[in-house]
Amino acid sequence: MFNLLDATKDYWRKLDELEAAYQRGEVSLAEVNTKVPELIAELSRERRAAIALMQSSWSRVWREHQQAIIGTVAIGVLTYAWMVAELV
């Protein structure tokens, strides 16, 4: 997840540098139009990797603690139902 945050900061830094270079006339509009999709693709790869890591982590937690998670949710639902029944 931290890689995604760093990659996002890096993306914005590179984009700002590209804009500054364009404003100074060091880079043409065609070069900007070529570079921006490359930067977006770079950030997209990092985002996909972060999502895959998160899904893998949650999948592992679910497999290892499935009964505890279901039990906790069931107790929460029953407690909520009991409290609502007491208020009515």
The model's pLDDT over 25-79, given as tens digits with 9 standing for 90+, comes to 999 999 999 999 999 999 999 999 999 999 999 999 999 999 999 999 999 999 9
| Domain range list for the chain | 2-87
Collect all residues with Cβ–Cβ distance below 8 Å to 3 and sequence separation of at least 6.
46, 49, 50
Q: How far apart are CA 83 and CA 70, in angstroms?
A: 20
Contact 36, 14 (CB under 8 A): no
At residue 2, does pLDDT exceed 80?
no
The pLDDT assigned to 3 comes to 83
The pLDDT assigned to 15 comes to 96
The pLDDT assigned to 51 comes to 92
At residue 1, does pLDDT exceed 70?
no
| Tokens of residue 35, six digits | 């570079």
Helix-then-strand count for the chain, H and E? 2, 0
Q: Is 67 exposed, middle or buried (0-12, 13-18, 19+ CB in 10 A)?
A: exposed
The pLDDT assigned to 88 comes to 79
At residue 83, does pLDDT exceed 90?
yes
The pLDDT assigned to 4 comes to 87
| Tokens of residue 80, six digits | 């909520």
Cα 41 to chain centroid, rounded: 15
